Structure 1
Amino acid sequence: MCYKPHHDHRWLMENEHDQGAGSQRDDVQVCRCLLHKQPQADELLSSEPRANITGRPPEKEDTRDVVTKHAAPTADQDSTLSPEDRVIAEVIHSTSFAYLPIQLQRLTQEYLSQFYTREAKSRSESLDQFTARLKTMQDFFGLEVTGNLDSNTLEVMKKPRCGVSDVSSYEHFNGKPKWEKSMVTYRITEYTSDMNQRQVDATIAQAFKLYSDVIPLDFKQIFSGTADIMILFKARYHGDFYPFDGPSGVLAHANSPGPNQGGDTHFDEDEQWTLDGKGINLLLVAAHEFGHALGLDHSKDRNALMYPTYSYVETRGYSLPKDDRRGVQALYGQYYWKKSNLFRGVQFKSIKSTWSSISTVDAAYEDTYKNVAYLFQGKQFWATKGTTLQPGYPKSISHFGFPSWVTALDAAVYVASTRKTLFFVKNFYWSYNEAQRKMDHWYPRQISWDFPGIGNRVDAAFENSGYLYFSEGPRQTEYIYKTKRINRVLLNYGWLDCY
């Protein structure tokens, strides 16, 4: 991932294989981050004369000069046009932007070829194929799917972004490469001069911790020898086949998991690395690159760290967004914490080692009246007593009465005093009557209506000693359900003896 906060830069990332003589790897997928300083759509539209696709000469301008410099050619204007130019001409002619500069037309074609073509590019693409890719792009970004090159589509195309082809929701690299070990080592061989070594070590460790907090994988820094992930800050040529190109160019690249160069991550020392949003934020760039080094591709979720386009976000208290968490957990599994009055400390256990048929859990709750726990993953759930899954599962969550648009739960908690279970999905919640085994009437309701002060979303929830605990990111609210008021605000880490 890389970015520049200036509006006149696009950032691209290429996902490709190491090639060339002497390459040690031909099976590691490389993420290369590039910033191309290109004319933007608004600049082109305002500064360059519009194309005259009718063939009639504009007033006060030489016809031949218009044709050679500014015209957006139509298929019948010039028999020497390339197939690509013919497609562009037809598409531009069929849109509301009939007077677009040829340079902008080529930018559109290059954009779609770069990000919406999985197979090898062809120079003989039909108009239908071009339009289909344009519609795919519009659908990906939630735009009106018209197949026309409208202003909203152009606005998205000119945003800074990553150059790996777009995919829906979280995604993994081809073959789903991952680290087949529980401890991954890393070593920083060359540091940036933009901050001291202690700051770099702490920031890199924090980026890795975003992942170790949610998967059963640990990261350890070593200071000599060869680590699994070798990290360096260096300008220009730095020992691989992808030299950096100075300020505002390539910012960083990372390999997918594997032996030798697998996972290696390089940062361009010509950039200005910072801990805030004034330069290139090291935490966000490193966390995105380490996502690739762990096997993650790009996501369709606008809130995901692995989303193709980038905008700076506040990093204080930053935690891995839900889509990225689900993506990396789908590769490495998930673990849970167990705390009890029967033993000291906190026990960490892999979900899969406890329940072999379940790798990840979106939400869970325990009905203490029945002494049964329920585990939810996507649109299905399991019942378990202790560590023993009950027969007849998994079942569909429609069993509880959820509408079809609910595809996963965010959190669930059983309230012993009422024998009701609260389910949380986005900014809504439901109340389920365990005794009557059906949803209460008039649900769902907005979380903020009935739980003022806890926020609009709930990532996790549980009950302890009569209090309900609602978490969103690192923040946790201790809530008195009977009186509907907040008792105190905590940090999630307190339960893990991290205070």
Structure 2
Amino acid sequence: LSCTFPVFFSQLFLEKYGYFSEPGPGTHSPAEFTEALRDFQRVTHLPPSGVLDAPTLRQMALPRCGTDDGESRAAGPRRASPARRRRRTAQHGGRWYKRHLRYRVVNWPSYLPQHEVRLAVRAAFELWSNVSSLLFWEAQDGPADIRLTFFHGDHNDGLNNAFDGPGGALAHAFFPRRGEAHFDSAERWSLHSGKGRNLFIVVAHEVGHTLGLEHSPVKSALMSPYYKKLSKDFVLSWDDILAVQNLYGKPSKGSAIQLPGKVFTHFQDWNTDLYGRDRQQRSLSTYYCHSFFDAITTDGDHNLYIFKGSHYWVVSESGNASDPRPLQPRWPGLPAGIDACAWSQLSGKFYFFKGGRCWRYAGSKLEAGFPRKCSALGLPRHPDTALYFQQLRRLVLFKGPKYFVVGEEPLGAEPYYPRSLRDWAGLPPGTAGALTHRDGSVYFFRDDQYWKFDQAKLQVVASGKWAAQLAWMGCWDANSEQVLF
């Protein structure tokens, strides 16, 4: 029994997820079983031995989407047989023939706050609308194109789609134009990046299916069949974006917006004004207000520059935020997801840092010799924060519990550095950015918090939540006196 059970389990698994060309468990020859096993091993990036070994069984036991692996099997190095291709084409994919789709959250786990669930679902849909021509609207009751529902066990989708309790299949969805995504109520769902299955990441995956996307063979893709924890570095992969744009085209206005996963890890921080009718344009211009950004700096005209992913925002001295702008036209050659940025009051140049490299721009022109390996000049790799510090007439880079003072000409760390962060009394490690404000204070930021540093006293004199308390950050609507989404 101990030998035959894994084989029987794996046959049922391969049958459920579409690895046999003809249905019917127990009717497959050893050669068919070996070939199906090889297919599965290719899709999951295991050695395609065709042998039911321990790594293969472990992979089969991992939590995943309950929709079968369809097209992802054909995308590997081996071509699928015509019979298999016909079956996938007949049963899978499809697309919606309209651009505006309504969705409805029919029910949700009672232990999750309703408004947070709705925010997570909306964010999951926006992940796709940000990179395609689609637009989504929530229907709180009545008919909808796409319905999201939680079920226990067998829920009349056929025994092959019955939910299996915690682990295993977490959810499944149907291709257009059925418009259904089902989630296993027996899972422990969460809206945070800690314990439990992250609802946002699973909904975003299942929404992909309802739009017509197959499972992806690309391991890092959201549409990969296996559950992945939501990390702050998560973004849609190139494979996800190409797949949805192949069906629906690029965004009708502007360029695709990639939001990093750290925007979505704490939905309790999001403001429920998201559902106001005038929020469509506001949400774009204030996405950085969701508690996280990559870097921040300010120029000589007191304009703020706020960086997130492949875009940046400019907030004027009056607190008006621009729409998100792509990095490339403004700073050609600059990569997405920078670690730190500072504008130098001494030279009028922008400095950017990512990994061990740095970039220096005069206006929009990348200076000769850049990017260069700044870690070779004594600068830290992946700095947390960069700042031009007027008292020293130098750049300061912060990394963990230490800071470095950096000269510009020639570029390099000054002697006797790094020093302990204790010199900056009251400042926590791991800040995301800093700037010198026109009031003379230096403001440091981390997550949704800020620290106000007095340059004369050399200590932190105030702290709080920057989106709500610092009107000049562009997140404060003076008319309604509410924090914008």
Query: Aligned-pair distance for 1:475?
Result: 1.1
The answer to whether residue 426 in structure 2 is matched with residue 453 in structure 1 is yes
Query: Aligned-pair distance for 1:394?
Result: 1.9
Provide the secondary structure at the position in 2 that maps to 1:202: helix
Question: Which amino acid in structure 1 is aligned with residue 396 of structure 2?
Answer: L
Contact 1:304 1:322 in 2 (8 A): no
In the alignment, which of 364, 371, 381 is matched to residue 341 of structure 2? 364
Select the structure with the greater relative contact order (CA < 8 A; seq sep ≥ 6): 1
- Counterpart of 1:285 in structure 2 is 199
The answer to whether residue 170 in structure 2 is matched with residue 245 in structure 1 is no
Q: Distance in 2 between matches of 1:489 and 1:219?
A: 39
Contact 2:191 2:199 in 1 (8 A): no
Q: Distance in 1 between matches of 2:293 and 2:426?
A: 22
Contact 2:339 2:384 in 1 (8 A): yes
- Counterpart of 1:402 in structure 2 is 379
- Counterpart of 2:138 in structure 1 is 222
In the alignment, which of 392, 398, 401 is matched to residue 424 of structure 1? 398
Contact 2:441 2:454 in 1 (8 A): yes
- Counterpart of 2:118 in structure 1 is 201
Provide the secondary structure at the position in 2 that maps to 1:118: coil
Flag the 1:366–1:276 CA change in 2: closer, same or farther, 3 A: closer
Overall identity of the aligned pairs, in %: 16
Contact 2:451 2:462 in 1 (8 A): yes
For residues 32-43 of structure 1, what are the structure 2 equivalents within 5 Å? Answer: none
Provide the secondary structure at the position in 1 that maps to 2:324: strand
Flag the 1:240–1:354 CA change in 2: closer, same or farther, 3 A: farther
Contact 2:201 2:230 in 1 (8 A): no
Aligned length: 324
Query: Aligned-pair distance for 1:226?
Result: 3.8
Question: Which amino acid in structure 2 is aligned with residue 286 of structure 1?
Answer: F
**TM-score normalised by structure 2 residue count:** 0.51
- Counterpart of 1:384 in structure 2 is 361
Contact 2:105 2:118 in 1 (8 A): no
In the alignment, which of 397, 410, 415 is matched to residue 441 of structure 1? 415
Flag the 1:355–1:203 CA change in 2: closer, same or farther, 3 A: same
Q: Distance in 2 between matches of 1:265 and 1:321?
A: 30
Contact 1:400 1:432 in 2 (8 A): no
- Counterpart of 2:183 in structure 1 is 267
Moved more, 478-487 or 437-446: 437-446
The answer to whether residue 107 in structure 2 is matched with residue 191 in structure 1 is yes
Q: Deviations over 1:42-90 (max 9, x none)?
A: xxxxxxxxxxxxxxxxxxxxxxxxxxxxxxxxxxxxxxxxxxxxxxxxx
Question: Which amino acid in structure 1 is aligned with residue 119 of structure 2?
Answer: A
**TM-score normalised by structure 1 residue count:** 0.50
Q: Which runs of 5+ in 1 are unaligned?
A: 1-13, 23-112, 134-156, 165-173, 176-182, 307-312, 324-331
Contact 1:334 1:351 in 2 (8 A): yes
- Counterpart of 1:119 in structure 2 is 47
Query: Aligned-pair distance for 1:353?
Result: 4.2
Query: Aligned-pair distance for 1:409?
Result: 2.6
Q: Distance in 1 between matches of 2:450 and 2:106?
A: 39
For residues 34-73 of structure 1, what are the structure 2 equivalents within 5 Å? Answer: none
Q: Distance in 2 between matches of 1:264 and 1:382?
A: 47
Q: Distance in 1 between matches of 2:291 and 2:359?
A: 26
Provide the secondary structure at the position in 2 that maps to 1:358: coil
Contact 2:360 2:370 in 1 (8 A): yes
Q: Distance in 2 between matches of 1:455 and 1:377?
A: 21
Question: Which amino acid in structure 2 is aligned with residue 459 of structure 1?
Answer: A
Query: Aligned-pair distance for 1:393?
Result: 2.6
Q: Distance in 2 between matches of 1:497 and 1:467?
A: 20
Q: Which runs of 5+ in 2 are unaligned?
A: 1-12, 22-40, 66-74, 77-98, 209-220, 235-264, 271-289, 295-307, 477-482
Provide the secondary structure at the position in 2 that maps to 1:204: helix
